Chains A and B, each alone.
Chain A
Amino acid sequence: DQQVKQNSPSLSVQEGRISILNCDYTNSMFDYFLWYKKYPAEGPTFLISISSIKDKNEDGRFTVFLNKSAKHLSLHIVPSQPGDSAVYFCAARGWQGAQKLVFGQGTRLTINP
C-alpha cells in the first residue's frame, strides 16, 4: 500500500526553466510534508517542508504547494540549474506515527543545459 506516490519516475527540464515535481498521498492523517534531494550513493538532503495548515512555503528557488482537498503537493524549482539534477523524494508524516516518515518512490530530475 503506497501511501505516498510520485507517479513520474523521471523529468527532464531545460536550464533556466521551471521544474515541477508532483506527489500524491492517500493517508488523510498526514499533516507534515517534506521534500528531499538525493544524489547517487548519498543520503537524502532536506530541502523544504510544509505543514498541513499552510498551502504554500517558499525558500529561495524552491516552493512547495499543498492542496489538501486533492491530497497533492508539488515542488517548484525556478530557475532550474544543472546542480539541481538529482532524485527528489517527497515524504509525509502524521501525528500518529510520531517522527516516522513515509517516502514516495522518487522522481529523477535532469536539468539540460
Chain B
Amino acid sequence: GAVVSQHPSWVICKSGTSVKIECRSLDFQATTMFWYRQFPKQSLMLMATSNEGSKATYEQGVEKDKFLINHASLTLSTLTVTSAHPEDSSFYICSAAPGANRRSTQYFGPGTRLTVL
C-alpha cells in the first residue's frame, strides 16, 4: 500500500514552454501533497504544500506564478512549470500524506527529471 506515482518520469522541453507533472496517490486519499525539487548532489527542497480544494502554500523564494500547483482531488496534484528555462532543469519529487495529522508519514513518488534545453 501507500503508492504514489508521478508522470512523466522524465521530460525534455524547449525553453519558454510549459510542462505539467502529475502526482497521484494510487491506494489512499491524500489530503495533503508536497512538491520538492532536488538539484544534483543536493538535498530535497520543499517548494510548496498543496491541500485538496485550496490554494497551495509556497516556500519562501518559490515563484507561485511560475510553479502552478493544482490539487483538484484527493488523489491528484499537478505541478506546472510555466515558461521553463534551463535553470528550472531539476528532479521534481512529490509526496503525499494520507491524513492531515502532522504525524502522517509522507510517501514519495519516483520523481520526474525535467531538462529544459
- List chain A positions with a Cβ less than 8 A from chain B: 4, 9, 32, 34, 36, 41-46, 49, 89, 93, 95, 98-106
Interface string of B69-111 (1 = CB under 8 A from A): 0000000000000000000000101110100001111111111
Apart from A41-B110, A44-B108, A103-B44, list 14 A-B contacts with CB within 8 A.
Answer: A34-B105, A43-B4, A43-B94, A43-B108, A43-B109, A45-B108, A89-B43, A93-B102, A95-B102, A98-B102, A99-B49, A100-B49, A102-B46, A103-B45
Q: Which of B44, B45, B94 has the largest count of A CB atoms less than 10 A from its CB?
A: B44
A43 to B91, CA, bound (A): 10
Q: Contact at A43–B111, with CB atoms within 8 Å?
A: yes
Task: Report B-chain residues with C-beta under 8 Å of the C-beta of A32.
Answer: 103
What is the chain A residue whose CB lies nearest that of B42?
A105
- Which residue of A34, A41, A93, A103 contacts B43 across the interface (Cβ within 8 Å)? A103
In the complex, 23 of the A-B residue pairs with CB atoms within 8 angstroms, ordered by the A residue number, are: A32-B103, A34-B105, A36-B108, A42-B111, A43-B109, A43-B110, A43-B111, A44-B93, A46-B105, A46-B106, A46-B107, A89-B43, A98-B102, A99-B32, A99-B34, A99-B49, A99-B102, A100-B49, A101-B34, A101-B106, A103-B45, A105-B43, A106-B43
A89 to B44, CA, bound (A): 9
Main secondary structure of the interface of B (DSSP, over half): strand
Task: Report B-chain residues with C-beta under 8 Å of the C-beta of A95.
Answer: 102
A59 to B88, CA, bound (A): 38
